[in-house]
Chains A and B, each alone.
Chain A
């Protein structure tokens, strides 16, 4: 068998996953529900998970309704005065001011929205795309698989920063939506491979054969029988991926090819801070702290979810 053609070429996220599970016993909804509830119990019992969930919840709230946070925590006048540029933290302005003389806490709070939006939107988009493509490639095999696998190779081989830079420089007036598309375009390959491997492992399972013999069409087979059992590992990879996407988006902002004024983001703030951080470390510190904490929380949450769904590691 040389079905391993692609599966070893697994990058950072899914390598920690177990290899495609052996074809599981056909399960009704109830049985899979019990696996999730096991996992849920496992998750709740860990304090670190609670902490990470807390951080993520806080960031989500900040992104959704920044105003109360700003009103509560600082005295933001809504104006940016160059006279205040780079003034350090004080009681009235806990994070001080940024280069433009805007209240930094307010800016950092507002900066959470694009990071989070992109992290979630890109992951959802990539998840949908990869589930679809992985399902098609794995189920039909043959030329469909070959074609999709080669296309995956093309995108997989493009280094992320370079690929994104080429596209974003080519379309200079891009907004949040375009950024999301670009990141989805470069971020679907890993999950597609995981999905494809899962589908290949499942499509020869006895229960699938059984369903096929009862006259189920390909669509029904894919959607009703294979998808529910194949999707869990992909979702876990997606969870782990959110943090990476947020970090990747910030990198592009940092390099000056990402979002643009009037958008705010932690990456942009880090970009502005980079040359002043020796004299004004607070400019680097606050967005770096928020960005790192968010990414860390998502990664740990993803880790925890993976552990919970992977019985072997329990």
Chain B
């Protein structure tokens, strides 16, 4: 197990380097002057321009910029935004918003998804099954911003049940609606996955044996089937947690949650290289970690899989 984890971490290193370099190249190598862009119609005096270029290493060649960036990274310096704020501070401030939103969505997804999936699986072919299938498919198919605007309009403004936007003070009320919107997509997948996995397991030999032994169906489902059925669901939920933590650009945009997704989208538009690269690095890292955790969990849940 230890060796497995160590090797996975080792694999993550070149992936991280390659990803940061890729983003770095895209953000920095292109024409365009972020400093002039900030100034709008007013032309920046040459002396000011020269100073700001020097401050943000904008005149260096790509390789030098990237080397300087990596150097800073090793000493824990993620660079500064063009308003002079350290990127690490930006990340720190925004991270908790994204984590809150991600966790809210994730819990909703897990609870609703598994509950609906079990319900549908046990009532296969019945009305409950059909409704769950139809509803989850719809949730998967309708783009999140349409769901978002409709939810905001109906549940937030017309009915007034939820705050329509939130910042850090809005926890937890302001996170329910965006969490629900963000989760709508995943709920569909979790429910379907649970359902199909449950169905597959209910047909398995050991279930028949258990039933033949005279155990009640409820006992069979709860004790035997559910645990095994959850293996693929846990896999999905693990990866999902990683991608939820990666910030939800659209949801954060619609509900004005100042999280990672919103920040990085803005920074891309402003050509704020250090911010974009910094956040992406962290995102990829989180993603790799989530994958690793999933792999380990996979082994714990399903005894047939062993990492040596």
Direct contact, A vs B (beta carbon within 8 Å): yes
Residues of A within 8 A of B (CB): 2, 4-5, 8-12, 15-16, 150-151, 153-154, 157-159, 161-162, 165-167, 169-171, 243, 247, 250-251, 254-255, 270, 274, 277-278, 284, 288, 291-292, 295-296, 299-300, 303, 312-313
Known: A158-B284, A284-B146, A299-B141. A9 touches B250 (CB 8 A): no
**Is the C-beta of B129 less than 8 angstroms from some C-beta in chain A?**
no
User: Please, how many angstroms separate the alpha-carbon atoms of A9 and B238 in the complex?
Assistant: 9
Question: Of A12, A166, A247, A288, which contacts B26 at CB under 8 A?
Answer: A166
* Contact B15 A165, beta carbon cutoff 8 Å: no
Q: Are B141 and A2 in contact (CB under 8 A)?
A: no
Give A286 to B11 CA distance when docked, in angstroms: 47
* Chain B residues closer than 8 Å to A10, beta-carbon distance: 235-236, 239
A15 touches B193 (CB 8 A): yes
Determine if A251 and B294 form an interchain contact, defined as CB atoms under 8 angstroms apart: no
**Contacting pair B239 A292 (CB below 8 A):** no
Q: Which of A153, A277, A292 contacts B143 (CB 8 A)?
A: A292
A168 to chain B, nearest CB (A): 9
State the Cβ distance, A242 to closest chain B Cβ, in Å: 12
Given known pairs A10-B235, A162-B249, A243-B141, the reply for A154 and B22 (CB within 8 Å) is yes
Q: Is the beta-carbon distance between A255 and B138 smaller than 8 angstroms?
A: no
Q: Which chain B residues lie closer than 8 Å to A296 at the CB level?
A: 137-138, 141-142
B294 and A150 form a contact (CB under 8 A): no
A151 to B192, CA, bound (A): 30
Query: What is the CB-to-nearest-CB distance from A68 to chain B, in angstroms, rounded to a whole number?
Result: 27
Chain A residues lying within 8 Å of B19, measured Cβ to Cβ, are: 154, 157-158
B64 in the interface, Cβ–Cβ < 8 Å?
no
Does B295 contact A254, Cβ atoms closer than 8 Å? no
Q: A2-B308, A4-B298, A8-B291 are in contact. Are A170 and B27 (CB under 8 A)?
A: yes
CB-CB under 8 A from B143, the residues of chain A are 247, 250-251, 254, 270, 288, 291-292, 295
Is B247 an interface residue, CB under 8 A from the partner?
yes
Find residues 246-304 in chain B having any chain A CB closer than 8 Å to their own CB: 246-247, 249-250, 253, 261, 264-265, 268-269, 276, 280, 283-284, 287-288, 291, 294-295, 298
Question: Contacting B141 at CB < 8 Å: which of A9, A165, A171, A247?
Answer: A247
CA distance A303 to B15 in the complex (A): 33
Q: List 12 A-B contacts (CB under 8 A).
A: A4-B295, A4-B298, A9-B291, A9-B295, A10-B235, A153-B288, A165-B268, A171-B30, A243-B141, A288-B146, A292-B141, A296-B141
A-B pairs with lowest CB-CB distance, top 9:
A296-B141, A157-B284, A295-B141, A159-B246, A157-B287, A9-B291, A153-B15, A161-B249, A154-B18
Taking residues whose C-beta sits less than 8 angstroms from the other chain, chain B's interface range is 35 or more
Question: Does the CB pair B26–A8 fall under 8 Å?
Answer: no
Assess whether A313 is in contact with B249, with CB atoms less than 8 Å apart: no
Residue interface bits B114-158, CB-to-A below 8 A is 1, else 0: 000000000000000000000001101111111001000100000
Number of A-B contacts (CB under 8 A): 144
B14-A150 in contact (CB<8A): yes
Question: For residue A169, which residues in chain B have a CB less than 8 angstroms away from its CB?
Answer: 268-269
In the complex, chain B residues whose CB is within 8 Å of the CB of A151: 18
| Nearest Cβ on chain B to A124's Cβ, whole angstroms | 21
Q: In the docked arrangement, what's the CA distance between A116 and B261, Å?
A: 28
How close is B306's CB to chain A, nearest CB, in angstroms?
A: 8
- Please measure, in the bound complex, the distance between the C-alpha atom of A303 and the C-alpha atom of B136, giving whole angstroms: 13
Question: Known: A8-B298, A169-B268, A296-B138. Is A162-B149 also a contact (CB below 8 A)?
Answer: no
Q: Chain B residues with Cβ under 8 A from A161's Cβ?
A: 249-250, 261, 265
Q: How far, in whole Å, are A75 and B13 apart by their CA atoms in the complex? A: 60
Q: In the bound complex, do residue B149 and residue A284 qualify as a contact, i.e. CB atoms below 8 Å apart?
A: yes
The answer to whether A5 touches B8, judged by C-beta atoms less than 8 angstroms apart, is: yes
CB contacts (< 8 Å) of B144 on chain A: these are: 251
Taken residue by residue from 215 to 249, chain B's Cβ proximity to chain A (1 for < 8 Å, 0 otherwise) reads as 00000000000000000100110110001001101
A154-B18, A159-B247, A167-B26 are known contacts; what are 13 more A-B pairs with Cβ within 8 Å?
A: A8-B235, A9-B239, A16-B196, A157-B283, A159-B246, A159-B249, A161-B265, A162-B264, A162-B265, A251-B250, A254-B250, A291-B146, A292-B143
**B137 contacts A170, C-beta separation under 8 Å:** no
A15 touches B140 (CB 8 A): no
